[in-house]
Amino acid sequence: MLEVARKILEGDERALARAASWIENRRLEAEPLLQELFPRTGHAMIVGVTGPPGAGKSTLCDQLTRLLRSEGKTVGILAVDPSSPYTGGAILGDRIRMQQHHSDPGVFIRSMATRGWLGGLARATTEMAMLLDAAGRDLVIVETVGVGQDEVEIARLADVTVLVLVPGMGDDVQAIKAGIMEIADVFVINKADLPGAEKLERELKSYLALSHRPDGWTPKIVHTVSADGKGVAEALLAVREYYSRGGGRARAGQIWSLRLREMLRERLLDRVPAEEFSNAGRDVAEHRRNPYSILHDWLERW
Ligand X SMILES: Nc1nc2c(ncn2[C@@H]2O[C@H](COP(=O)(O)OP(=O)(O)OP(=O)(O)O)[C@@H](O)[C@H]2O)c(=O)[nH]1
> Could you tell me which of 80, 77, 83 has the C-alpha nearest to residue 100?
77
CB of 82 to ligand X, least distance (A): 5
Residues 6 or more apart whose Cβ sits within 8 Å of residue 42: 133
Closer residue to Mg ion (CB): 8 or 154: 154
**Cβ contacts of 12-18, under 8 Å, gap ≥ 24:** 13/105, 13/108, 16/108, 16/131, 16/132, 16/135
Query: Binding to ligand X by residue 146, rule CB under 6 A?
Result: no
Residues 21-40 that bind ligand X (CB under 6 A): none
49 vs 69: CA distance, rounded Å: 18
235 vs 232: CA distance, rounded Å: 5
Residue 183 binding target from Mg ion, ligand X, none, CB below 5 to 8 Å by type: none
Identity of the residue numbered 190: N
133 vs 127: CA distance, rounded Å: 10
Instruction: Answer whether 124's CB lies under 8 Å from 60's CB.
Output: no
Query: Binding to ligand X by residue 59, rule CB under 6 A?
Result: yes
Exactly one of 2, 36, 53, 265 binds ligand X (CB under 6 A); that residue is 53
The pattern of x and - marking residues 256 through 275 that bind ligand X according to CB under 6 A reads --------------------
Query: Binding to ligand X by residue 101, rule CB under 6 A?
Result: no
Q: Provide φ and ψ at 82, rounded to 5°.
A: -80, 90
126 vs 121: CA distance, rounded Å: 8
Exactly one of 41, 83, 87, 114 binds ligand X (CB under 6 A); that residue is 87
Count of residues near ligand X by CB under 6 A: 19
Closer residue to ligand X (CB): 30 or 60: 60
Query: Binding to ligand X by residue 57, rule CB under 6 A?
Result: yes
CB of 49 to Mg ion, least distance (A): 9
Closer residue to ligand X (CB): 100 or 257: 100
Exactly one of 9, 40, 93, 240 binds ligand X (CB under 6 A); that residue is 93
Query: Binding to ligand X by residue 226, rule CB under 6 A?
Result: yes
CB of 223 to ligand X, least distance (A): 9
Residue 226 binding target from Mg ion, ligand X, none, CB below 5 to 8 Å by type: ligand X
11 vs 152: CA distance, rounded Å: 31
| CA-based radius of gyration for the chain | 20
- Binding residues (CB under 5 A) for Mg ion: these are 57-58
CB of 19 to Mg ion, least distance (A): 24
Closer residue to Mg ion (CB): 57 or 251: 57
Applying CB under 6 A, the residues found at the interface with ligand X are: 53-59, 82, 87, 90, 93, 145, 190-191, 193-194, 225-227
